[in-house]
Structure 1
Amino acid sequence: MGQEVVIVVREFDAEKDCLGVEEVERRCEVGPSGKLSLFTDLLGDPICRVRHSPAFLMLVAEMDEEKEIVGVIRGCIKTVTCGKKLSRNGKNGGNDNTPLKPLPVYTKVAYILGLRVSPSHRRMGIGLKLVSRMEDWFRENGAEYAYMATEKDNEASVKLFTDRCGYNKFRTPSILVHPVFAHPLRIPKRVQVFRLHPSDAETLYRRRFSTTEFFPRDIDAILNNKLNLGTFVAVPSGSYNPESWPGIERFLSEPPESWAILSVWNSKDVFTLEVRGASRVKRGLAKTTRIVDKAFPWLRIPSVPEVFRPFGVHFLYGLGGDGPDSVKLIKALCGFAHNLAKDRGCSVVVTEVSSREPLKSGIPHWKWLGCAEDLWCMKRLGEDYSDGSVGDWTKSSPGL
């Protein structure tokens, strides 16, 4: 009989484990053919799930004898909105004539990110060990739910979490990707774009979107982070003095008929991505667009940047708006973000939105680069620690 393989799961040690983790990452082919690799696991970084989370952990699985790292997992805990409750304004809950106001219900959600197991050591229960140890840490730190994201067609990952770890299929958001062209996009003259001060952005987000599912309670820390490149609001031209923002209180009390908002996160300074598995035909077509665009720049050909080598990304988050022209305004904002990315040397802009998001039709994207349906799975870890009661969040219907 062969000697039993002993796998030790322990905390990541930056001084001695970096090379081993990099080797595991290299061996694991991540991302579907022709798509942006690492998106599913690293989209969390732009909204501060790991590097800017107050509670995070990284574990490695190591062969006891050889001291070879054969698996890795990352996780963190954030406080986010899981629902809403109605409350009356005024002291002591108000009176019967006081209008009801929706308030966010917060809970601690744990995120599982970057689960990797070397291909030569799969089907040995290593992934299950890593997830179990990470969940123990989640519970110790008061998380009520654990969540993970994967490609919808990643059968091995889906089966591990739903069949063996007790997770439920929860949401299917869309990852929308748009290449950054060699020429800037034209912003319609009928649209005004204002950059908000972080405090104004926080006020707007909290007043209008705090009851939105997954809204982070520490939105102020995100907006003030050095990787945040700004929050921008688009309104129809003529709504305000074109030279100055009217102020957040006036905007909220007298909003224009239509408006849109988004924030931009600089992922370029955190990690790079690349397209893997694209066919020679797609590579050739992409190169052709660049050649033609360079030869005839006045035609403004929508050329594909070099995405088959590591490149930088800007992540668009906090997308929202209101009014009959909000779709057109979010499209203009995406064009503004495209030009910002061009000026900063990024090759791609990307966002992740609910599959039911009304503004989705206004977000420019290329289908072959993105993912129409990502898959989020969630598990309830313990008792209800949330600020209020929404029942079991894993059984709730999707919000926007």
Structure 2
Amino acid sequence: MGEQGVLVVREFDTLKDCSGVEEVERRCEVAELDAQKEIVGLIRGCIKTVTCGKKLPRNGKNTKNPLPIYTKLAYILGLRVSPSHRRIGIGLKLVCRMEEWFRENGAEYSYMATDSDNQASVKLFTERCGYEMFRTPSILVQPVFGHRVRIPKRVTIFQLGPSEAESLYRRRFSTTEFFPRDIDSVLNNKLSLGTFLAVSVGLFNPGSWPGVDGFLSDPPESWAVLSVWNSKEVFTLEVRGASRVRRGLAKTSRVVDRVLPWLRIPSVPEVFRPFGFLFLYGLGGEGPDAVKMMKGLCGFAHNLAKERGCRVVATEVSSREPLRLGIPHWKRLSCAEDIWCMKRLGEDYSDGSIGDWTKSAPGLSIFVDPREF
């Protein structure tokens, strides 16, 4: 780094680095770094076991129920470099050191996600770090209105307990790309508000619910499921840069919606100040009316978000997801193309030789882990 001193990349020290890390996060938004020998960059990462493919059972008899192929996947959660220390290789060194830690802990792949507009990040990972553009899911965001959303009368919604939800997900969605092997940890997390199942009205009532085993042994023609994550308790968002005119129109829509709720005007919530949101994950379903069922579940999640004081509901799905037509969202608030880049770290695989996952064709769906959103 020349006159700026020697760059040292080391592990995070909880006792002495918290304030420095917070300062870097702040400066990355509004200011520059002046003093020497301060923290000028940081990177976070984690490793988990996820589904990367599927295979037939060894006996080859049950072709309708393939088995998941798991791999150890590392995820780069965030990379920050102070503005005054950018373009001198700090980001590259942080990524390289993070990858060393990934390899030391047995990760077979590493991936990161960024907005398509963040070309600096895309170029760093694809041109200098050897990553490849892998998937381009969509982040769909729906505002929470001043009025409650009506749930279709033909749809009944049940809440599943964590153990039943785990059974349903493992038996129906474990071969979905990025499905976490520790789905039980996700569903039992205190931030998970529950898993909800939608079916046609009249099929079940609280006294006739057959349990997940009975449900899956003789499933209805159409059904849908999703889980809700309380992101409000972790961090907040804020929309910046809106003109006074836009802010005024948004406020007017809220006033009208509050005074005349029966008109069901799609009002714009107060998103120009820090706000919380709910994240929908584990979306799935089957049958000709699954899209309608999903729309009912999203309406239910909207009302849950309203009760909890959240201002938007968000989810992330594959660009090929069949159920996305049933997910209400506003294009202006959503991100049509979130870029996921991946890199193969090793040659040995935890579940046999499956080829290079980075070269595989995308499936219809992906499982987005709410712990990483």
TM-score, normalised with respect to structure 2: 0.92
Q: Deviation string for 1:21-78 (max 9, x for gaps)?
A: 2222223249xxxxxxxxxxxxxxxxxxxxxxxxxxxxxxx99x82311111110001
Which residue of 40, 43, 49 corresponds with 1:73? 43
The equivalent of 2:233 in structure 1 is 269
How far off its partner does 1:164 sit? 0.3
The separation in 2 between residues aligned to 1:5 and 1:14, in whole angstroms, is 24
Partner of 1:21: 21
Q: Distance in 2 between matches of 1:241 and 1:342?
A: 26
TM-score calculated relative to the size of structure 1: 0.86
Please state how far the C-alpha of 1:242 moved relative to its aligned partner. Answer: 5.5
- What's 2:304 paired with? 340
**Counterpart secondary structure, 2:93:** helix
Range with bigger deviation, 291-300 or 348-357: 291-300
Q: Secondary structure at the match of 2:78?
A: strand
1:384 aligns to 2:354 (yes or no): no
Bigger proportion of residues as strand? 1
SS in 2 for 1:11: coil
SS at match of 1:202: helix
Q: Which moved more, 1:266-275 or 1:372-381?
A: 266-275
Find the counterpart in structure 1 of residue 66 from structure 2: 102
Residue 326 of structure 1 deviates from its aligned partner by 0.2
**Alignment match, 1:131:** 95
Query: 1:140: which partner in 2?
Result: 104
Q: Which residue of 2 aligns with 1:295?
A: 259
Deviates more, 1:191-200 or 1:290-299: 290-299
The alpha carbon displacement at 1:222 in A equals 0.8
Partner amino acid for 2:41? G
Q: Write out aligned runs for 1:248-397 (5 A).
A: 248-397=212-361
Q: Which amino acid aligns with 2:310?
A: C
Q: Corresponding residue for 1:217?
A: 181
Aligned counterpart, 1:161: 125
Q: Which residue of 1 aligns with 2:7?
A: 7
Distance 1:390 1:276 in 2: 45
More deviation in 233-242 or 151-160? 233-242
Distance 1:116 1:237, change over 3 A: same
Q: State how far apart, in whole Å, the 1-side matches of 2:25 and 2:310 are.
A: 23
CA–CA distance in structure 2, aligned partners of residues 81 and 222 of structure 1: 15
Q: Is this contact kept in 2: 1:105–1:389, CA < 8 A?
A: no
Mapped partners of 2:347, 2:29: distance in 1:
37
State, as a whole percentage, how many aligned pairs show the same letter: 78
Once the two structures are superposed, what CA deviation does each residue of 1:329-376 show, in whole Å capped at 9, x if it has no partner?
000000001111111111111100000000001100111111000000
CA distance in 1, matches of 2:312, 2:62: 45
Alignment of 1:171-250 (within 5 A): 171-241=135-205, 244-250=208-214
Match of 1:46 in 2: none
Q: Is the 8 A contact 1:174 1:354 kept in 2?
A: yes
2 CA distance for matches of 1:75 and 1:356?
Answer: 28
The letter for the 2-side match of 1:274 is E
Residues 194 and 245, structure 1, Cα contact 8 Å, conserved in 2: no
**More deviation, 238-247/65-74:** 238-247
1:112 aligns with 2:82: no
Bigger mean CA offset, 173-182 vs 284-293: 284-293
Q: Which runs of 5+ in 2 are unaligned?
A: 366-373
**Unaligned 5+ residue runs, structure 1?**
31-61
Query: 1:186 is aligned with what amino acid?
Result: R
SS at match of 1:9: coil
1:219-254 deviation per Cα after TM superposition (whole angstroms, max 9, x unaligned): 011111111100000001122235553211110011
Task: For residue 162 of structure 1, report the CA deviation from its aligned partner.
Answer: 0.3
The amino acid of 1:164's aligned partner reads R
Q: Is the 8 A contact 2:51 2:69 kept in 1?
A: yes
Alignment partners' CA distance in 2, 1:366 and 1:294: 20
Aligned residues: 361
Residues in 1 aligned to 2:78 and 2:4: alpha-carbon distance in whole angstroms: 27
Q: Within 5 Å, which residues of 2 pair with 1:33-72? A: 66-72=36-42
CA distance in 2 between counterparts of 1:71 and 1:126 reads 7
Change (3 A) 1:293 1:106: same
Structure 1 residue 218 displacement after superposition: 0.3
Task: Give the aligned residue type for 1:251.
Answer: F
Which secondary structure does the structure 1 equivalent of 2:229 belong to? strand
Q: Once the 2 structures are TM-superposed, how far is the Cα of residue 193 of structure 1 from its aligned partner?
A: 0.2
